[in-house]
Amino acid sequence: MLPEIEQYFRLEKLPHMWCPGCGNGIILHSLVKAIDKLCLDQDRTTMVSGIGCAARASGYLDFDTLHTTHGRALAFATGVKFAKPELNVFVLTGDGDCTAIGGNHFIHAARRNINLTTIVFNNNIYGMTGGQYSPMTPNSCRATTSPYGNLERPFNLTELAIAAGATFVARTTTYHTKQLTDLIIEGHKNKGFSLIEVITHCPTSFGRQNKMGTPADMLKWQRDHGISAMRYENLNPEERADKFIIGVLHKTEAPEYTTEYQKLLEKLG
């Protein structure tokens, strides 16, 4: 591990529990690099996570860390941030955690535009329970609960966040680590609800069932399919079919909830 990021980890809790080849560690690395560049006070930064593989991330990080119940990370984080707005609050959640059981909290945190930096580890599957399909599993993909191929359609999570009122929405992959760090930095600087969707690879539960090859093959797939908006613009519809845009997808300004509440307190006080 690079010495400059060591201070953000609870080294005694490593090695982590994730499978060999898992992308989650890459996200963690980018996250702490972003925190380092942002010069955030470690004592004033809180990591909130839900349940699932991604959610175990909080335990490895040396901050106040809150490992909550399934799907509820954003609701717990809302409580932390609203009670103590001066804290930097990051939410680490998986696709199942955030978009299925936690879907309601997700749209409402976005609607409130509360200043939380939410990183969705999207591996397209329920990894910890052994590979069931999630609301982010692509149509026709295999999972233990879609043995004949997934009949459902996945969410477009970034579009959902934009529609719900998030003021910073971005997407990237675990292949694009430098961009991931930059997006986390930019997302954290946004005064409002920020979503960073990270396409990450789960070789054990998703890749294996869908014949995606080795972890390195999955990373190459991310490299080849995640493209910038500019490149995407220049593709014809056929070429676009299996591609997705990475980078900042949406950025706007809107009243932030805890700031508005503070104004109310000042008005009444």
Partner 1 sequence: MSTEPRLIQGNEACAEGAIYAGMRFYAGYPITPSTEIAEILARRLPQVGGKFLQMEDEIASMAAIIGGSLTGAKVMTATSGPGFSLKQENIGYACMAEIPCVIANVQRLGPSTGVATAPAQGDVMQARWGTHGDHPIIALTPSSVREAFELTVRAFNLAEQFRVPVILLMDEVVGHMREKVTLPQPGEFPVVNRVKPTCSRENYYPYKADGDKTPPMACFGEGYRYHVTGLFHDESGFATEKPEIIDWQLKRLHEKINQHLDEIITYTSEETEDADLVVIAYGGTARAVSRAVKLARQEGRKVGIFRPQTIWPFPEAAIGELAASGKKLLVAEMNYGQLLLEVQRVAAGRSEVHSCLQSNGELTQPDVILTKIREVYEHAPGN
Q: Which positions lie near partner 1, rule CB under 8 A? A: 10, 13, 42-44, 46, 48, 58-59, 62-69, 72, 75-84, 86-87, 104-105, 107-108, 261, 264-265, 268-269
The CB-of-65 to partner 1 minimum distance in angstroms stands at: 5
The CB-of-260 to partner 1 minimum distance in angstroms stands at: 12
Nearer to partner 1, 25 or 79 (CB): 79
Nearer to partner 1, 44 or 189 (CB): 44
Nearer to partner 1, 133 or 257 (CB): 257
Helices (H), the chain: 3-6, 24-38, 57-60, 73-83, 95-96, 103-112, 157-164, 177-189, 215-225, 229-233, 237-240, 257-268
Nearer to partner 1, 79 or 138 (CB): 79
Q: What is the Cα gyration radius of the chain?
A: 18
The CB-of-109 to partner 1 minimum distance in angstroms stands at: 9
Residues 6 or more apart in contact with residue 234 via CB below 8 angstroms = none
The CB-of-121 to partner 1 minimum distance in angstroms stands at: 18
- 37: number of Cβ within 10 Å: 13
The CB-of-67 to partner 1 minimum distance in angstroms stands at: 4
> Are the CB atoms for 5 and 35 separated by under 8 Å?
no
Nearer to partner 1, 17 or 216 (CB): 17
Nearer to partner 1, 82 or 244 (CB): 82
- Coil, strand or helix at 74: helix
CA pair distance 76, 66, nearest whole angstrom: 8
The CB-of-82 to partner 1 minimum distance in angstroms stands at: 6
Supply the angle between the helices 177-189 and 24-38 in degrees, to the nearest 10. Answer: 50
Q: Which two tokens stand for residue 53?
A: 């593989």
Residues 6 or more apart in contact with residue 100 via CB below 8 angstroms = 71, 134, 135
